[in-house]
Amino acid sequence: MPHDINLIATIAIGLALAFVFGFLALRLRLPPLVGYLVAGVAVGPFSPGYVADSGLAGQLAEIGVMLLMFGVGLHFSVADLMAVRKIAIPGAVAQIVAATAIGAVMAMGWGWSLGSGLVLGLSLSVASTVVLLKALEDRNAVETTNGRIAIGWLIVEDLAMVLALVLLPALAEALGGQAGAGAQGPSDQGLLLTLGITLAKVTTFIVIAVVIGPRVLPWLLRQVARTGSRELFTLATLAIALGIAFSSAKLFGVSFALGAFFAGMVLNESDLSHKAATNVLPLQDAFAVLFFVSVGMLFDPSIVIRQPFMVVGVALLVLVGKSLVALGIVWMLGFPLSTALIVSASLAQIGEFSFILGALGVTHGLLTKEGLNLILAAALISITLNQLVFSGVDRLIAFIKKRPALKRPCEEARNERYAQLEGELTDAHHRAQEKAAAHKTFTPEELLARFPLFAGLTAEQREVLILHFRPATAEPGKRLIRAGDEADLAYFISSGEVEVAVGSRRIKLGPGDYFGEMAIISGHPRSADVTALDYSQFATLSQRDFRQFLRRYPSIRNQIAAIAAERGEMNRQFLEEMATEDAAV
Ligand code: CMP
């Protein structure tokens, strides 16, 4: 294969095979993920035939992880996490500690060093976000209480892993590995210093992300939305996701994954986040597939024959060990058995973070290639069996619920904590919805339904137009426009009623009408007072956006200009009538 088409070949063959095997996997009622992994094994160095460039595949996989974490950040709800914190934090921490300890003891039993054992255990302790979200989506359970507990738990695990990824290189030497190329010999002071510098860099990064990010990024996206180009908007979203991930890794030494996660989280608060998420989704899907393919490429299937006991050991740790720990913790916290079972099933698998951590362990001499291979074997087995685990759990729950002798102590007697948490989650959800409603303007369909004025626009034009609208509300009696003032906004009424006062004359406007256009078009001061009569909602356009909007859609401009002229004429006549009446008096 000529060197210069390596990238094309890797992407094309990787995606094509992933599609074929993913499709086959679905046919066999397995998750498509299994197919992608098998596709990876097929193009990997450990199977005959074509061998894809594993370096390139690794980089493509890294893009997949960045986009994935960006997506997680975009959907990450701090409120949800806070609501489930009492179960998610102790659960995740205890599960990581227990799984790491079991893994380390098992590995030391095989004669591995403590450092290797810890890396193996830690890698086996964290479940995969991709696998979990896909499993919950398939079961329509993302929004359920149990689903949210599992997601919150996983986010805590992810955050702990991010910390582990940052600390591992700093601690590598102390654990018996190497800090990296050209590193000096270990010294306690050196270790503390490295740790301190690492933590300082991460903190600086987080402070910048949390303080400056929310001011700059949503503003930037809004500017781009103003241009009216959908393409540029998608590009901006991608540039933010990948650009921040890359530069934060270069500048602050944090992982690509953490950088991308924060980029997503910062945008999460913006009212444009939904659109940003929809735009990058297809790319995120494609690169996530390449991620699994590249993982499959690293896997040497012969390990199953060479080290069957080790493979069974790690698989059991992930499938049984972790599940029992999770089950015990959830039970001890007073939740029903069904919650404990579902959370355990959700977390009885490993994925992306395990590979990343394992690979980092190999780089720092803490894990052998064989160790990484074991992690891959555990991932392949646990991801493949995850659906089975879920259906087993479903059967068990149904079995328990049918038997009063079991149902009472396992479910009903323990419903209090569950109901309390459910209440907190519902509250958090309502608050989030209220907040979203305050930011929300319309969907293109709503826009059309409420404003016949926009009927002539294409679907895409409507989609772009709503990006410019800022929502506004008013209570009865609120003066929105004062005659003689300078123009700032144009208002489109989506609900409620307002009154225009020209002299002593009153004109009522309702949903679908608009006002505030005359002064913007003419450049003169406001021609009348406008006051809300009812609780009203508006979509507003700034002077600049309104002018640009008129320029872009000449047919709408003509309609609006004609009505403005009519209104002006009406007011002139009316004021003249008033003047004659006054003169007569
Ligand atoms: P503007 O002059 O910017 O601010 C006051 C607004 O009241 C004006 O734009 C119109 O949108 C609205 N307005 C003025 N006169 C009339 C009218 N006769 N009928 C309906 N609306 C009017």
Instruction: Indicate whether 384 and 455 sit together in one domain.
Output: no
In a domain, 170, yes or no: yes
Mutation test residue for ligand 1: of 453, 480, 481, the one with most atoms within 8 Å of CB: 481
Q: What is the pLDDT of residue 185?
A: 43
Q: What is the pLDDT of residue 132?
A: 87
Per-residue burial over 322-339, b = 16 or more CB atoms within 10 Å of its CB, e = otherwise: bbebbbbbbbebebbbbb
Instruction: Indicate whether 229 and 358 sit together in one domain.
Output: yes
- Measured distance CA(492)–CA(442) in Å, rounded: 12
Q: What is the pLDDT of residue 444?
A: 66
In a domain, 438, yes or no: no
* Per-residue tokens: 398: 């149904």
Nearest Cα residue to atom 6 of ligand 1? 516
- State if residue 567 touches ligand 1 by the CB under 6 angstroms criterion: yes
Atom of ligand 1 nearest to the CA of 574: 18
* Per-residue tokens: 338: 């069904």
**CA 2 to chain CA centroid, nearest Å:** 38
Question: Which domain, by its residues, includes 32?
Answer: 6-424
In a domain, 1, yes or no: no
- Measured distance CA(443)–CA(259) in Å, rounded: 31
Nearest Cα residue to atom 1 of ligand 1? 516
Instruction: Indicate whether 71 and 202 sit together in one domain.
Output: yes
In a domain, 176, yes or no: yes
- State if residue 493 touches ligand 1 by the CB under 6 angstroms criterion: no
- Token pair 């294409």 is found at 458
- Measured distance CA(323)–CA(16) in Å, rounded: 35
* Per-residue tokens: 50: 């074509």
Instruction: Indicate whether 407 and 462 sit together in one domain.
Output: no
Q: What is the Å distance from ligand 1's center to 515 Cα? A: 6
Instruction: Indicate whether 388 and 482 sit together in one domain.
Output: no
In a domain, 430, yes or no: no
* Per-residue tokens: 562: 């004609």
Q: What is the Å distance from ligand 1's center to 282 Cα? A: 45
Question: Are 31 and 17 in contact, with CB atoms under 8 Å apart?
Answer: no
- Measured distance CA(473)–CA(512) in Å, rounded: 15
Q: How many domains does the chain have?
A: 2
Q: What is the Å distance from ligand 1's center to 333 Cα? A: 62
Q: What is the Å distance from ligand 1's center to 441 Cα? A: 23
Atom of ligand 1 nearest to the CA of 514: 11
Instruction: Indicate whether 450 and 420 sit together in one domain.
Output: no
- Measured distance CA(327)–CA(95) in Å, rounded: 10
Instruction: Indicate whether 463 and 357 sit together in one domain.
Output: no
555, amino acid identity? S
Q: What is the pLDDT of residue 439?
A: 61
Instruction: Indicate whether 42 and 77 sit together in one domain.
Output: yes
Instruction: Indicate whether 52 and 198 sit together in one domain.
Output: yes
Residue 358, C-beta contacts closer than 8 angstroms, at least 6 positions apart: 119, 120, 123, 367, 371, 372, 375, 376
Instruction: Indicate whether 385 and 352 sit together in one domain.
Output: yes
Instruction: Indicate whether 487 and 360 sit together in one domain.
Output: no
Q: What is the pLDDT of residue 447?
A: 75
- Measured distance CA(362)–CA(369) in Å, rounded: 7
Q: What is the domain-level CATH number for residue 564?
A: 2.60.120.10
Instruction: Give pLDDT tens digits along the chain (585 positions).
Output: 556 888 999 999 999 999 999 999 999 988 788 899 899 999 999 888 888 888 888 889 889 888 888 887 887 777 778 888 899 999 999 999 999 999 999 999 999 999 999 999 999 999 987 788 778 877 888 788 998 899 889 888 887 887 787 788 778 877 877 765 434 444 555 667 777 887 888 788 888 887 888 888 888 887 887 676 778 888 999 999 999 989 988 888 777 877 888 888 888 767 677 778 878 888 888 888 998 898 889 889 999 999 999 999 999 999 999 999 999 999 999 999 999 999 999 999 998 889 888 988 998 899 998 999 999 999 989 988 998 899 999 999 999 999 988 888 888 888 888 998 888 888 887 877 776 666 666 666 777 777 888 888 887 788 778 878 888 888 888 899 999 999 999 999 988 899 999 988 899 999 889 999 999 999 999 999 999 988 888 889 999 889 988 888 888 899 999 999 999 999 999 988 888 887 777
- State if residue 570 touches ligand 1 by the CB under 6 angstroms criterion: yes
- State if residue 500 touches ligand 1 by the CB under 6 angstroms criterion: yes
pTM of the model: 0.69
Question: Are 218 and 129 in contact, with CB atoms under 8 Å apart?
Answer: no
Q: What is the pLDDT of residue 181?
A: 41
- State if residue 529 touches ligand 1 by the CB under 6 angstroms criterion: no
Query: Cα–Cα–Cα angle for 476, 528, 562, nearest 5°?
Result: 110
Q: What is the domain-level CATH number for residue 408?
A: 1.20.1530.20
Mutation test residue for ligand 1: of 515, 517, 542, the one with most atoms within 8 Å of CB: 515
Residue 207, C-beta contacts closer than 8 angstroms, at least 6 positions apart: none
In a domain, 41, yes or no: yes
Q: What is the pLDDT of residue 190?
A: 67
Q: What is the Å distance from ligand 1's center to 479 Cα? A: 13
Q: Which residues pair with 532 in a beta bridge?
A: 498
Instruction: Indicate whether 395 and 461 sit together in one domain.
Output: no
Out of 394, 424, 454, pick the residue that ends a domain.
Answer: 424
Of 236, 229, 96, whose CA–CA distance to 158 is shortest?
96
